[in-house]
């Protein structure tokens, strides 16, 4: 399965995201067309409602407060009748409208006049009306007012329904050969929406048509929540895949690091055990009880190796306890300089064996912090041991400690090869070791646990650690701890 996951994981993730994207786009496209259709229906309904209201307002004078009269002219039945009446009209047909009261009733009369003579297409106007005492100029003027009212009602209704479009109106004469519009004929042929023609009063001079050149932005505005949800869904899907891949990569690196850790720890644990075994064998075979000086030397070596073995075991156990939350750090007054002095003294033999030197000059005033003496001492052991292991033979280590009212600063500086800046953050990761020219082989064996342990302990006690490269080579680990108040 390893070859399968490594080879096909990324292509499968890319394929899954691509399929999700295609499906979302297909769904949005289908939704776009559905919303476009619905928007056209809504625009048509806007014109219908406005036409009914405009017609009612044109005949309302004298009928105020008559609810049946109002309901009739605002009904869908009247609209159907009106449209049928409009559709029957053609050239040379005139009409008239009148209303009268008798008792508690209103009589509405609509008359048609058919012109049976030869059509005269040179007439100035082909719209005819019966003479009911009102001049044609008066009727035309009232028609223009009704037209403005109709246009106002349409735009008011659009705003009320939340339809944001750039709408234009087209006015047709009843013989349909006269167009009054802000749009050219070529533009009218390309409009996205054109309503049916509706009369807006009962003089029947002209008809009104609503046209919208472009509906795309209005549809997208209606779809804004769907588009946003689709976008966030794709973003969430991509984020989930990203974190899963990152987790898989980290798990793979973690597994590789554990294998390396097991190999290195096996060597680390085996070395002191072998050294102690050889020392004890030499004592027995060479009967060194008769040579106290040599015997003492071998016993010192064995004790040093056992101390190192015990430190490595403690390091692993401490990290396990920190991870599980079982480690309880004490908080007591601790003199940092006294702890450093204890560590330097106990590591004297290791320093001499490595041909190294430690320059430690404590300051006259004590530097107190509140912390766990055992874990802070282990922190100092780890940093000095790292300098001895990775600094090379003959490394010079410089220790310094300064303090003020707020903070205690401890510096562990060496003149070794240093650490590349790109690894300064990663060296505190568990199991991480700075790569060498041969990544699978390390000249100096180690567990990759020390600096991670150091960082965890310091952070749990309110401190921090950082690494800077010294000019000309070498590393400088600087610890910051809050001073005891």
Question: What does 115-176 look like in DSSP terms, one character per residue?
Answer: --S---TTSS----B--SS--HHHHHHHHHHHHHHHHHHHHHHHHHTT----EEEEEEETTS
pLDDT digits (tens, 9 = 90+) for 350-393: 788 788 999 998 888 889 999 888 788 888 988 988 888 888 88
Name 457's bridge partners.
none
Q: What is the pLDDT of residue 277?
A: 80
pLDDT at 3 over 60: no
Average pLDDT over residues 185-205: 83
Percent of the chain scoring above 90 in pLDDT: 19
pLDDT digits (tens, 9 = 90+) for 105-157: 767 777 766 666 655 544 444 444 444 556 777 777 888 888 899 999 999 99
The structure's pTM equals: 0.51
Distance CA 8, CA 70 (A): 72
């Amino acid at each position: 399965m390893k070859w399968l996951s490594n080879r096909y994981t990324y292509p499968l993730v890319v394929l899954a995201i691509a399929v999700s994207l295609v499906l979302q786009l297909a769904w949005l496209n289908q939704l776009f067309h559905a919303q476009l259709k619905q928007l056209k229906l809504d625009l048509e309904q806007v014109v219908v409602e406005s036409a009914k209201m405009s017609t009612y307002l044109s005949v309302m004078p004298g009928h105020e407060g008559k609810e049946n009269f109002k309901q009739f002219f605002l009904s869908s039945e009247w609209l159907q009748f009106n449209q049928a009446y409009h559709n029957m009209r053609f050239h040379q047909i005139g009409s008239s409208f009148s209303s009268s009261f008798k008792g508690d009733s209103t009589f509405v009369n609509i008359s048609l006049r058919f012109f049976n003579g030869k059509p005269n297409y040179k007439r100035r106007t082909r719209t005819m009306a019966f003479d009911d005492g009102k001049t044609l100029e008066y009727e035309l003027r009232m028609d223009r007012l009704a037209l403005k009212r109709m246009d106002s009602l349409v735009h008011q209704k659009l705003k009320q329904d939340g339809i944001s479009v750039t709408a234009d109106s087209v006015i047709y004469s009843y013989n349909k050969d006269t167009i009054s519009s802000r749009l050219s004929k070529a533009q009218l042929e390309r409009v996205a929406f054109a309503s049916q023609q509706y009369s807006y009063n009962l003089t029947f001079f002209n008809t009104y048509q609503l046209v919208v050149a472009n509906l795309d932005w209005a549809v997208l505005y209606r779809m804004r929540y769907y588009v946003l949800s689709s976008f966030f869904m794709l973003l969430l899907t991509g984020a989930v895949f990203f974190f899963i891949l990152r987790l898989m990569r980290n798990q793979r690196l973690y597994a590789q690091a554990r294998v390396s850790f097991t190999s290195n720890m096996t060597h680390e644990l085996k070395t002191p055990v072998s050294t102690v075994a050889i020392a004890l064998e030499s004592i027995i075979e060479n009967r060194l009880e008769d040579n106290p000086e040599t015997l003492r030397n071998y016993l010192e070596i064995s004790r040093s190796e056992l101390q190192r073995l015990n430190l490595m075991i403690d390091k692993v156990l401490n990290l396990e306890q920190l991870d599980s939350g079982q480690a309880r750090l004490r908080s007591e007054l601790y003199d940092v300089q006294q702890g450093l002095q204890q560590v330097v003294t106990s590591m004297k033999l290791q320093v001499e064996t490595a041909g190294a030197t430690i320059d430690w000059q404590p300051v006259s005033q004590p530097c107190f912090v509140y912390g766990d003496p055992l874990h802070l001492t282990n922190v100092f052991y780890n940093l000095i041991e790292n300098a001895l292991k990775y600094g090379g033979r003959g490394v010079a280590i410089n220790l310094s400690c300064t303090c003020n009212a707020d903070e205690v600063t401890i510096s562990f500086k060496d003149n070794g090869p240093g650490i590349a800046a790109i690894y300064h953050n990663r060296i505190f990761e568990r199991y991480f070791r700075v790569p060498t020219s041969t990544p699978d082989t390390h000249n100096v064996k180690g567990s990759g646990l020390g600096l991670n342990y150091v960082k965890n302990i310091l952070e749990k006690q309110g401190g921090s650690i950082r690494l800077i490269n010294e000019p000309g080579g070498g590393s400088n680990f600087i610890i910051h701890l809050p001073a005891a108040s």
